[in-house]
Amino acid sequence: MQIGSLARWKKRDAPIWEGELFTVSVEGEGRDVILLHGLAASPECWDETKEHLGRAVRLHKVHMRGFAGLAPTAFRDPMNFLKPMADALAGYIRSQGLGPVAVAGHSMGGIVSLILARDHADVVERLMVVDVPAFFSVLINPFASPGMMSHFAQHSRHSYIDKSKADLLSDLRRTSEKLVTDPVQIERLVRWGVASDRRTTADVMAEVMVTDLRGDLQRIKAPVDVIYTWDRVSPMSKLGADQVYASAYAGLANGRRQRIDDARHFVMFDQPALFYGAVQSWLAR
């Protein structure tokens, strides 16, 4: 079944597009840029993009079903989210006649964007991956492999599903404190997590843990900018972060990396000026 056959405009001039796996809000009239959020997050993480980039861009903010208050899709198999999402995004880009576009993905959205560029080169003009290695689990164990992480991923999946509401809320707040510095934004992340479908979040979390794209990077021909962060509370040094990302993205044919300091995972909240300066440089590349 084609994604375009089920997508629809709510009304002719409405900026909301709806498909099986995601919705899209469209803002602006300039160059088309696709924006992807992360796990249990919201497209609201990109809300300041227009302010920083001005009228030069037409933003397509994707909201993946199952996250931050959007009901989960009925068209999803456990541990099979990332590739179908990338395929559906390619369908959206083609159906709207956008063809090749700039794509930026934060965290899990960055993994989806890499799969999109790998499998649908015709729709991706350039790529920005924000704060996620091409194999996420090297952040847990630098020597990780998908097979090694399989049991841990499934344990994490079941543990997340089985938590009580009180424990889940406590864990979300504790985790969010590691992802952003501003207390207001911490509470925002918690709200997104609480409003996300628990099973979707658990399934995709486990899938991300065992998805290793390092060996596929040479297939990505579009230029790729990788933004990653370091903060003094990070468990690794600046040099350690540099080494992790250099190794994770060594296979890129046309890649460059930039570390932004004094920022946690939601770099667009912690260091907006530096982050959106990097976005402008990426678009001008």
State the total domains in the chain: 1
CA 23 to chain centre: 15
132-163 pLDDT, tens digit per residue, is 999 999 999 999 999 999 999 999 999 999 99
Res. 1: pLDDT tops 50: no
- Asked whether residue 7 carries a pLDDT value surpassing 80, the answer given is no
Q: 3-state class of 213 per DSSP?
A: coil
Confidence of residue 2 (pLDDT cuts 50, 70, 90): very low
pTM of the model: 0.94
Is residue 282 predicted with pLDDT exceeding 80?
yes
Question: Residue 90 maps to which CATH number?
Answer: 3.40.50.1820
pLDDT tops 50 at residue 122: yes
- Looking at residue 196, its pLDDT comes to 98
Average predicted confidence (pLDDT) for the chain: 93
Q: What is the per-residue pLDDT across 31-53, written as a single tens digit (0 to 9) for each?
A: 999 999 999 999 999 999 999 99
* Dihedral of the alpha carbons of 14, 18, 22, 23, in degrees to the nearest 10: 10
CB neighbourhood size of 8 (10 A) = 12
pLDDT at 285: 87
Dihedral sign, Cα of residue 21, residue 33, residue 38, residue 150: positive
- pLDDT tier, 25 (very low <50, low <70, confident <90, very high otherwise): very high
Q: Is the predicted pLDDT of residue 9 greater than 50, yes or no?
A: no
Indicate the angle between helix axes 108-119 and 82-95, nearest 10 degrees: 60
Split at pLDDT 50, 70, 90, the class of 56 is: confident
pLDDT at 99: 81
Q: Would you place residue 13 in the very low, low, confident or very high pLDDT band (cuts 50, 70, 90)? A: very low
pLDDT at 76: 83
Position 95 pLDDT exceeds 90:
yes
Is pLDDT above 50 for 117?
A: yes
Question: Is 143 exposed, middle or buried (CB count within 10 Å of its CB: 0-12, 13-18, 19+)?
Answer: exposed
pLDDT at 45: 98
Name the percent of the chain lying above pLDDT 90.
Answer: 89
Q: What is the pLDDT of residue 55?
A: 84
Backbone angles phi, psi at 2, to 5 degrees: -80, 140
What is the residue range of 27's domain?
Answer: 3-284
Instruction: Classify strands 224-230 and 255-261 as parallel, antiparallel or unpaired.
Output: parallel
**171 has a pLDDT exceeding 70:** yes
Task: Judge contact between 87 and 111, C-beta under 8 A.
Answer: no
Average confidence (pLDDT) over 218-238: 96
CA distance 203 to 190: 19
What is the reported pLDDT for 194? 98
pLDDT score at 10: 40
Q: Return the number of other C-beta atoms located less than 10 Å from residue 242's C-beta.
A: 15
